[in-house]
Amino acid sequence: MNDRPDAIERLEKRLEALERRVSALEHPLAAHLPRPATEPKKAFAPQTAGATASAPAKSIFSVVGIALLGIAGAYVLRALEQTDPLPRVAVAGAGIVYAFLWLAWAARVRGGPRFTSSIYSATSALILAPMLWELTLRFKVLPASVAAVLVCGYALAAFALQWKHDLKPVLRVACIAAAGLALALAVASHALLPFVMVLLVLAAVCEFVPGCDRVPEVAALVALAADAAIWVLIYVYFTGQNTLPDYPTLSRGALLAPGIAVFVLFTASVCLKTLLHARPITAFETVQTVIAFLLAAVSLADFGQTHGTTILGAACLILSAACYAAVFTVFARSSAQRNTTVFAPRRNAAVFAAWAAALVLAGSFLCLPPLPMIVLLVACPIFCTSEIVSVARCRPTCCERGPSGCGS
């Protein structure tokens, strides 16, 4: 019985000795030694991974649920709009403000899934589009011009938010929705001109405002919507206003303005990008410029004066001379000086040369007698060949002189 306390004392002494030895082994270099992970961390590791995996799913359902609540609020406003005690104009104004607030909220969203801004901006568009459709076409509360101003303001608000916060999803959803709504209201309301002007304003913003080139699909869809609206305008009014009682009467200048405006807009954009900034012209810009020229040509031929065909032919010859001048001066100098990539001037020169050839043929057949037309068509290839030879002879000398060697 007396041996047990002695054994316990000996164990205590041995434990104290082991503790002293362990404390003596704790050296600064021992901190760098690898240590095994504890069991509790291993036990809790799968639960943490499962929690992080379930977080995005909860965020998705919460975002979609909030968006559905927003659409439900729009239905409440629509129900209030149909009641007699409340003035319909006041409820309509509240609904429009409600849609704009959702757009602003989509721009201020931070964190969460990446598509949160897209869903909230889509909610804003889904609130605004049916409301403007009913207020303009069904209830006749808003005139077509006021609806066009609201659509334009909605898209410009999206542009302003994108310029301030760099929000591509908000701009993409809002502008595409605004362009589609403007085209639909133009066709359904028979008031084509206000919505055509809205689409032209949006196309100008997409082409000339800095930062919009980062969303090229928006500019392409807005341009196509503007083209479609102008084609509808030309087709409808070319049949004669006497047979169209539902459409407003437009003057000759109002009928000519959209086609000429879209051509001037995209011609200025292409010249700014290719001649001043030396950017390679894209396939869409090439096709869109051709479409804009056809719209202007058809407008001038249909709604112009009696000599509209002659004026169109003269304009084709002037534009052809301008294209040839760009090919043999600006693009040739850029390629010779090598201040840009060689690919950009060659592509731009090829496109402008093709335009010039087509324009000189069209202008010759439209406004020139047979003999001057033959002389012009024979002289153009000779002139172009001589210019190409002179540029080819100048290019090696310019390369030998350096980047600033050639002045012409």
Exposure string over 69-102, b if 16+ CB within 10 A, otherwise e: ebeeebeebbeebeeeeeeeeebbeebbebbbeb
- What are the mean pLDDT values of the chain's consecutive 10-residue runs (408 residues total)? 66 77 57 47 43 52 87 83 72 90 86 77 93 90 94 93 76 94 95 96 92 88 96 88 76 93 96 89 94 95 81 91 87 58 70 90 83 70 56 46 44
pLDDT value of residue 277: 85
- Angle at alpha carbon of residue 211, lines to 206 and 213, rounded to 5°: 55
The 10s digit of each residue's pLDDT in 52-84 is 444 454 478 888 888 889 888 888 887 777 776
pLDDT value of residue 295: 96
The 10s digit of each residue's pLDDT in 185-221 is 999 999 999 999 999 999 999 999 887 888 899 999 9
